[in-house]
Amino acid sequence: MMGTSFSRLKGLSSLSGGGLLGPAATVIYLLFIGLPVLALLIRAAQQESFFTGLLGGMALTALRLSLITSGISMIIILLVGTPFAYLLARNTSWMLRIVDSLIELPIVLPPVVAGVAMLMAFGRQGVLGPFLEALGIGLPFTTGAVVFAQIFVAAPFYIRSAKLGFQSVARDYEDISQTLGISPWKTFWRLTIPLAAPSVLTGFALAWARALSEFGATIMFAGNLMGTTQTMPLAIMTAMESSLDIALALSVLLLAGSVTILIGLGMASRPKWQNRL
């Protein structure tokens, strides 16, 4: 009897003390994240010309440019990042370890600094500027510069996640497959990629979201030219100075894209056995 009373008192004490800290922190965090999003949706719904701004020339032009440039960026990231991530996962040489430790540099580097660094590398007065100019290539303040900026900031998200996915695939599986006469190329596509697919898809989604939302490096390296370099984040900044409707419309579009990516990430990372329940 005394033991039962003691356990009840202990449970009440934990609820009144540290046990309430977790739920309280959760509520505070959800309010902090949810209120701005809810306020954005409410304010957008209150705008009478919201759909006019959504279908306006500035919004559609920025949306089209963002989708095209981010699509090109993701194709390049997939083609280059996939074999690079696989090499990092399978090779443990000291040189690649150094390279591996520098992958996250674009993530921690302030985007504005990344833009300035790209100007110093590819600008007219940059390290490669004279060489590119001799070839007739002017990269800064062009659509190509937008793609460069997106790749610079988004690639680490894909490479890191894909590398972890490849590391989760036991090398013995690949060895057994090749002993059965299957070539390394077919083994990679038929065995390694399917087993690492959740991590690869997660990295792809995160990288695409980062490319769509890129702002700092783009405005420094590519500028803010409508129809040429003005992506959705840059259009939102510009629209805030003149048209709140367009700014809200583009913000809701980016929000919808982010929610879609989160849902896709949840479905991709869900264990297969749960789908059978």
Query: What tens digit of pLDDT does each residue of 165-217 get?
Result: 999 988 888 888 888 888 888 888 888 999 999 899 999 999 999 999 999 99
pLDDT exceeds 50 at position 273: no
Query: 57, 107, 72, 102: which is closest to 212 by C-alpha?
Result: 72
Average pLDDT, the chain: 84
119-128 per-residue burial string, b: 16 or more CB within 10 A, e: under 16: beebbeebee
pLDDT score recorded for residue 49: 75
pLDDT score recorded for residue 15: 47
**CB-based contacts of 122, cutoff 8 Å, min separation 6:** 128, 129, 132, 139, 140, 145, 148, 221
What kind and span of H or E run contains 89? helix 57-90
Cα separation values, 160 from 96, 147, 216, Å? 13, 20, 22
54 contacts 253 by C-beta, under 8 angstroms: yes
pTM of the shown model: 0.83
155 contacts 105 by C-beta, under 8 angstroms: no
Query: What are 123-157's pLDDT values in tens digits?
Result: 888 899 888 888 888 889 999 999 999 999 999 99
CATH for 50-270?
1.10.3720.10
CA distance linking residue 158 with residue 207, whole number of Å: 6
pLDDT score recorded for residue 9: 47
CA distance linking residue 49 with residue 243, whole number of Å: 10
Q: What is the mean pLDDT of residues 35-48?
A: 85
pLDDT exceeds 80 at position 16: no
**Residue ranges of the alpha helices (H) in 180-276?**
184-187, 193-213, 216-221, 232-239, 244-269, 272-275
CA distance linking residue 58 with residue 56, whole number of Å: 6
- The pair of three-digit structure tokens given for residue 125, joined into one six-digit string: 């007065």
